[in-house]
Amino acid sequence: VVEETGSTNADLLARAANFREPLTEPLLLVARSQTAGRGRAGRSWLSSSEGSLTFSLAWPFEGALTRLAGLPLAVGVALAETLERLGVQVGLKWPNDVLRDGDKLAGILIETQAAPGGGTWAVIGIGLNLLMPDELEARIGRNVASLPWLARMERDSLMAALLDGLAGCLREFERGGFPLFVARWNLRHAWQGEPVIVLDRGAVLHEGVAAGVDESGRLLLDTPAGRVAVLSGDVSLRMK
């Protein structure tokens, strides 16, 4: 646990890159305050030291990167199931957001690093809003969700609950991959049946009706030309 760092993901990726031994135990880094939090495609994750949980878990997976298809979605399921156990209902937005009442409550960023011996480190970064000061919401520039009543829970207990849920799901993922999570993800799909557009760096890639995800974590879209399956890559999803 550190008082302040730029990005917990950047720190753990650097650690993972320097490991010369084969994969061993997971590593966890919790920052009370994160000054340069990252999102996908160079976007930023903003947080406040009093009101956010920001941490990264580096998990050693055996085998190549291709085994990790759907991992960000499985982590979304892990967060959702843990929050539900704490009495909070959330929805999932493809590919990597946790929503509450339609607004973003938590972000997930997974970055990977090849490990000696052929394995892969998945560095799983999570930012969860507990309190959202107006000034921070203004800087983010859109409505966001927070969980003021969970902010009253002791931080360590909350972290322990999240880590338990996460570790359990990661072990499941190691055993069976994303197929074990498809139904659980689709159950919580916040935009099921909604008309959406898929953007790739601002350009419209697809338009259609969101119909859940498949066993590789691809978004299924019903378009006038039939059903398409969209790979996440760096694409973003918007309500039409």
Residues contributing to the site for ligand ATP (CB under 6 A): 39-40, 43-47, 96-97, 104, 107, 127, 129, 140, 142, 144, 236-237
With tokens 């006038």, the residue in question is 224
Measured from the CB atom, the residue of 145 and 167 that comes closer to ligand ATP is: 145
Measured from the CB atom, the residue of 50 and 164 that comes closer to ligand ATP is: 50
- Give the pairing type, strands 120-129 and 52-61: antiparallel
Measured from the CB atom, the residue of 36 and 160 that comes closer to ligand ATP is: 36
Residue 158: CB minimum distance to ligand ATP, A = 16
As to burial, measured by CB atoms within 10 angstroms (0-12 exposed, 13-18 middle, 19+ buried), residue 204 is: exposed
Residue 110: CB minimum distance to ligand ATP, A = 10
Residue 19: CB minimum distance to ligand ATP, A = 26
CA separation for the pair 65, 51 (Å, rounded): 34
Measured from the CB atom, the residue of 44 and 223 that comes closer to ligand ATP is: 44
CA separation for the pair 98, 126 (Å, rounded): 10
With tokens 């790979």, the residue in question is 231
Q: Which amino acid belongs to residue 88?
A: V
Q: Quick one: residue 191, left, alpha or beta (phi over 0 = left, psi -120 to 50 = alpha)?
A: alpha
Residue 43: CB minimum distance to ligand ATP, A = 4
133: cis peptide before it, omega within 30°? Answer: no
CB-side neighbour CA atoms (13 Å) of 162: 25
Residue 54: CB minimum distance to ligand ATP, A = 9
Measured from the CB atom, the residue of 4 and 164 that comes closer to ligand ATP is: 4
Q: Which residue is nearest to ligand ATP (CB)?
A: 39
